[in-house]
Structure 1
Amino acid sequence: MTPPTHRTWAKRGHTPVIRVRGRSQRRYSIAALTCYKPGERSRLIYRPRRHTDHKQGGRRSFTWTDYRDLLIAAHNQLGGPIVLVWDNLNVHKDRRLRAFIDAHDWITAYHLPPYAPDLNPVEGIWSLLRRSSQANTAFADPEHLIDALRHGLRRLQYRSHIIDGCLTGTGLSLTTPQPKTQ
């Protein structure tokens, strides 16, 4: 675990050193959805997942079933249809996940253009998280890291104005122009 150092200081002439105990083979992933609905507060829905040791045959990231389960949970929590705007992660384009989306009329999926993280509001959430709960922290172990991430995400969950700011930062809007009929 390399600590995400945001700022540091030391006496003049002394280079600051952050000691890290060995590298862990345990890996955590977090998937998140920023949810916007006109007239309601914005929401952040996330799921952390601990992966088994990938050198022993475990997976290093979310599977298509993990994303499917996240979408089902979001649908149940939001109580309505979902218009999903995704980046071009290979799992997001998995044929089984695409078949799941096509089989359900409550979900519509669009993909962002390649290499466009500035259009993804969740990237703003990750940036805020790195600059707040992760900055200048040397995590003792993977559990300390995941606890800090969960705490930071919980703090963001209840600040809808910050989530709205992440959408505003993309330049995208919640409404689409209605097609003109002639």
Structure 2
Amino acid sequence: MAPLVRRTWSPRGQTPVLVQRTRAYQKVSVIGALCVPPQRDRVYLYFRLHPDTNLTGPLVIAFLRQLARQLDAPFVLLWDRLWAHRATVVHTFLQQTPQLHPVFFPPYAPELNPIESAWGYLKCNPFANWPLTELDTLTAVTHHQHRHLQRDPLLLRSFIEHSPLSLRLK
């Protein structure tokens, strides 16, 4: 759980010290989606946290089921090529769920994926220089920061607009 270290200010002669625990590998995996309704007037962020877990096909399916219940209409999934997105169980689930239409981004093209901008923002802004040493604290702070991001419509719009995709918002 080493924090992202960023440049910061401090009084002259008082070098900031970032204390962190080493040899402890704990993490919070996040699966999320930026959703734009057909009216294209707003952007929504949906996410699920998985403390100390790698994302797998069944976790992706659980998220997609939750998303399908929330959105209640056919929708297109624009996906990167994460292994869990291409798992056999996910592929089977998508074939059985006609309201979900997956479209994969080209390999190695994170600049096209708007959710990557959201993850980059969260890692480089609220989490920079923040040594979270306990998994429970990391999970709670991650949840809080994602909820905070959900309530910032202009920032969510900026992630969509930053992508060179042809999707334009009103």
Q: Report the TM-score, using the length of structure 2 for normalisation.
A: 0.88
Where does the alignment leave 5 or more consecutive residues of structure 2 unmatched? Answer: none
> Could you tell which deviates more after superposition, 12-21 or 26-35?
12-21
Partner of 2:29: 29
Deviations 1:115-152 (A, max 9, x none): 10000111111121123320221224222222221111
Partner of 2:42: 41
Q: Distance in 2 between matches of 1:121 and 1:110?
A: 14
Q: Report the TM-score, using the length of structure 1 for normalisation.
A: 0.83
Q: Distance in 1 between matches of 2:4 and 2:25?
A: 18
Is residue 98 from structure 1 mapped to residue 103 from structure 2 by the alignment? no
Q: 1:168 aligns with which of 157, 161, 165?
A: 161
1:1-182 aligned at under 5 Å gives the runs 1-10=1-10, 12=12, 16-39=16-39, 40-51=41-52, 60-174=53-167
Contact 1:33-1:44 at 8 Å conserved across structures: yes
Where does the alignment leave 5 or more consecutive residues of structure 1 unmatched? Answer: 52-59, 176-182
> Could you tell which deviates more after superposition, 150-159 or 115-124?
150-159
What's the RMSD between the two structures over aligned residues?
1.9
Equivalenced residue count is 167
| Structure having greater relative contact order (Cα 8 Å, sep ≥ 6) | 2
> Could you tell which deviates more after superposition, 4-13 or 65-74?
4-13
Letter in 1 for 2:36: Y
Contact 2:18-2:129 at 8 Å conserved across structures: no
Contact 1:87-1:120 at 8 Å conserved across structures: yes
Percent identity of paired positions between Structure 1 and Structure 2: 31
Larger Rg: 1
Contact 2:31-2:49 at 8 Å conserved across structures: yes
Q: Distance in 2 between matches of 1:32 and 1:23?
A: 28
Q: Distance in 2 between matches of 1:98 and 1:28?
A: 25
Deviations 1:10-59 (A, max 9, x none): 555665432212332433201110101132421100000123xxxxxxxx
Contact 1:31-1:46 at 8 Å conserved across structures: yes
